[in-house]
Structure 1
Amino acid sequence: MVFDVLEAKAMKEETAEPVNKSLSSEILDRAEVAIIKHAQRQHFPEEMKRTEPKKNVSTRLRQLNPVLIEGILRIGGRLSQAEISFDAKHPVILPKKSHVTTLIIRDIHNRVGHLGKNVMQCFIRNTGFYMQVH
């Protein structure tokens, strides 16, 4: 009887459709957004509250004219009408001293190589991120 149960289970597994164990780009994008939101809530809690209409922004991010778009703190400004990508118009603001920021920098460095600080900054901004410097 045990053999019959095991044989039936094996046959069922053979006929079942294979499970896709790879991560889709949608899942990876959602994970990236969740991680960024978490890092921003940790490092910019007051700034995220103050980006609501008619509230003052703290001095450490004031020059960036920050806006909260879909729960992510981004750079605002005059580029909203420019014909460039959304991420180039409104880069995500990342805290200077964050593990998430470090991981993003390492990833870009691994892709770009040892081309110097200015090239790294360019690639970081082209990826849609802005690192806080203060």
Structure 2
Amino acid sequence: MSEPQKTVDSYISYALAAAHRKLHIELSQNLKALNVQVETWRVLQSLRASQGTTMRELAEIVLMNPPTLTKLVDRMVADGLVQRQLSAEDQRRVQLALTDLGVTLADKIALHVEAQNDWIIETIGFEKAQLLREALDTLA
């Protein structure tokens, strides 16, 4: 007689996916009021933290494939949130930077993201949140 098979929800990878889905949906709904997608927030926040990022670097940071990121950045440039600049060190290298409008929007979005982050910490506790963060960083 064989052992009963585990249910899908008994796996850690499933629990991670379920938590990610829930948090992503909630954040998406909160950002709809600003007409912003979660991926747009990732780009804005990443550029806010490090001006002068290339598309290749940004794709790795924001967890997007380059063609999809290019389309998103093109829209953000058209919306006046991001600008492309030639690197002062290497004229062949194009870097991305936030415009003033991009910084303003990033500040508005940060309120929603910080609220969600605070809710997570409040829900599971500071120590568990730190352990979770360390565990996820190890897996990544």
TM-score range, shorter chain: 0.3 to 0.5
Higher share in helix: 2
Larger radius of gyration: 1
TM-score, normalised to structure 2, is 0.32
TM-score, normalised to structure 1, is 0.33
